[in-house]
Amino acid sequence: MSRTAARSALALAVVTALLGPAAAAAPPPAADRSAAAPLPSQDCRLDRVPDDLAEGFPVHGQALPATGTLRATLLLVDFPDATAGTASASEAEENLRSGIDYLEQVSRGRLDVEVTTTPSWIRMPHPSTDYPFDRGLTYDDHVRYVRDAVEAADATVDFSGTDVVWVSATRAAPAISFSPTTNHLDVKADGRRLTHAVTFGHDQWGWGGLVLAHETGHTLGLPDLYLFDGPDAHAAVGEWDLMGLISGEAPELLAWHRWMLGWIDDDEVVCAAPGSGRGPTADLAPLADLTAGDDAALVLRLSDTRAIVVENRQALGWDSALARPGALVTSVDVAERTGRGPIRVVDATPGSSGGLRDATFAPGTTWTEPTTGTVLTFAEGPAGPAGSGGAIRVTVGEVEPEPEPEVPAFVDVAPGSAYAAEIGWLARAGISTGWTLPDGSREFRPVTPIARNAMAAFLHRLAGRPAFTPPTTSPFTDVATTDPFYAEIAWLARQRISTGWVQPDGSAQFRPHEPIARDAMAAFLHRSAGSPAIVPPAAAPFGDVAPGAQFSAEIAWLHDVGIATGWDDGGDLPSFRPLSPVNRDAMAAFLHRFHHGG
């Protein structure tokens, strides 16, 4: 990779949280045909991580096909201790019916769900309380439950054409409390290996039929968008997309998910990348009212793992209760796993009482993507069908230039001194505030080595202060949950930017107060950039870093992208001094080059 290419890749790879308020803007004129043409849509397909439930392309091979015919067998079961009595078998089927309607409508008819339902209740061989749904259900427990249902029904049910088994427990069995899914069943019946199952528990009567659509989303390869950890499970996407909240007011699948499943075509996605000058324009049709050839989404690819997606959400279809129609902006990060926030909604009104319910951007506003400075402008688009709200025009605007660095009000940083401009940028960006003295002035302490805990804080702020709920148990034995910068250190560990030192007992230390060495700094920055592939240099860039030495590859990358040049000590090659601590002024320079691509 050339240095220019490496710098471009670096500029796109910095990890950030995508939050920013809307700003007033004049509606744009008619589409400017001199603007940059969109990229091929395939360029915006982010590769999926190896998980079977994950964002990205293609969906996992274990997932069921999302187009064509999905053949489901619905087993209605009761138990020796919880009999259905006179309850109609059709009650459960009718409760789940809306989920089937949802799948067929949101897929635009590309998925046809055919269901074969048992005409009467199937008696399970064990009491409902024998299945530990309320006591930490394991994979083996779940498989046993499905196997018992299949074996109990096998005498009267033909499974030879079944793609997915649905097991619905009688309302009289509250012990079957919730509704999990497995894509790894491995149960045989009628000569067919059954691999996928959804079991509907007592919560189905509260959720209604959309629980079927949510769980079927998992069988098609979609991850959960709600958060597994933290006080607010819905902080990432709120009520958008039923993979985030089944009962939300906007359960229509996000455009990204529809594209993954083949329910939106490539020619309905406008792909763009950050860069100078005006980018392409998309006239986004309401997502719930698409016709063939409409612009369904604009995707701004930021890196190999991250993208911004814009779609038009109106009070139509399954979003009929939507409180605030408009342009919905989401951040996709395929490196984040299910339940960890792989998609996050960008809030147009941060701090409002509506949470993410009013997150959409209205025509006449703009939003600036903080990593690249790319401006998205929202305007009224061509009129749509009556009552639809019409199209929304989204234009990828020019990249906002970085203002010239200024010297901050640090009394110990003189104008024109080494790295004064970079220190000014660090302060202006809110990455460092320094130390406040009794008289109100501030010190930066430029030649003081930066401690590892402060480095964690710098990297978290450089990433845009992404929302993160630290675990209640510290990942490091020498960092208490009450220590300064604990949240930032825990975030560093979660992102795998730092693993610390593993101790003989398997625990890990972070050593928060130790100065960070230059070689470790190289590793931190490389991981913060998304761990891009490193092409081994033909010759070592530094005379004191031998090939194969600790972090030698990351140090070579640091040189290749223009972040570090080393010292001229009079030898044939400059020196890097890998074990020397990094002073705070030098770190300001490193972070400035990292952020600006070298």
Q: Decide if 410 contacts 442 (C-beta within 8 A).
A: yes
Please give the Cα distance from 341 to 335 (Å, whole number): 10
Tens digits of per-residue pLDDT, 491-504? 999 999 998 999 99
Distances (CA, A) of 522 to 483, 563, 585: 25, 9, 16
Please give the Cα distance from 360 to 358 (Å, whole number): 6
pLDDT at position 359 = 94
Tens digits of per-residue pLDDT, 281-337? 999 999 999 999 899 999 999 999 999 999 999 999 999 999 899 999 999 999 998
If phi over 0 gives left and psi between -120 and 50 gives alpha, with beta otherwise, what is residue 197?
A: beta
Tens digits of per-residue pLDDT, 79-104? 999 999 887 888 888 999 999 999 99
Q: What is the mean pLDDT of residues 414-433?
A: 87
Domain spans of the chain?
A: 19-49+226-399, 68-219, 420-595
> With 0-12 CB in 10 A as exposed, 13-18 as middle and 19+ as buried, what is 81?
middle
Q: Are strands 111-117 and 68-78 parallel, antiparallel or unpaired?
A: parallel
pLDDT at position 219 = 97
Please give the Cα distance from 222 to 272 (Å, whole number): 24
Q: What is the mean pLDDT of residues 167-180?
A: 96
Please give the Cα distance from 142 to 172 (Å, whole number): 19
State the SS3 of 523-582: HHHHHHCCCCCCCCCCCCCCCCCCCCCCCHHHHHHHHHCCCCCCECCCCCCCECCCCCEC
> With 0-12 CB in 10 A as exposed, 13-18 as middle and 19+ as buried, what is 549?
middle
Contacts of 530 (CB under 8 A, 6+ apart): 13, 15, 303, 304, 305, 306, 335
State the SS3 of 90-134: HHHHHHHHHHHHHHHHHCCCCEEEEEEECCCCEECCCCHHHCCCC
Distances (CA, A) of 524 to 156, 530, 551: 61, 10, 10
Continuous segment of H or E residues that includes residue 591: helix 584-595
Q: Given pLDDT bands bounded at 50, 70 and 90, which one contains residue 37?
A: low
Question: Looking at 24-38, 216-230, 569-583, which range is the least confident one?
Answer: 24-38
Please give the Cα distance from 206 to 187 (Å, whole number): 29
Cα end-to-end span (Å), the chain:
14
Tens digits of per-residue pLDDT, 540-558? 889 999 888 889 889 988 8
The proportion of the chain whose per-residue pLDDT surpasses 90, expressed as a percent, equals: 62
Closest by CA to 199, choosing from 127, 107, 104, 133, is 133
Contacts of 450 (CB under 8 A, 6+ apart): 458, 515, 516, 581, 582, 583, 584, 587
Q: Are strands 306-313 and 326-333 parallel, antiparallel or unpaired?
A: antiparallel
Six token digits for residue 105: 């409508």
Q: Given pLDDT bands bounded at 50, 70 and 90, which one contains residue 29?
A: very low
Please give the Cα distance from 24 to 37 (Å, whole number): 26
Distances (CA, A) of 147 to 156, 157, 344, 506: 15, 14, 37, 38
Q: What is the mean pLDDT of residues 534-544?
A: 82
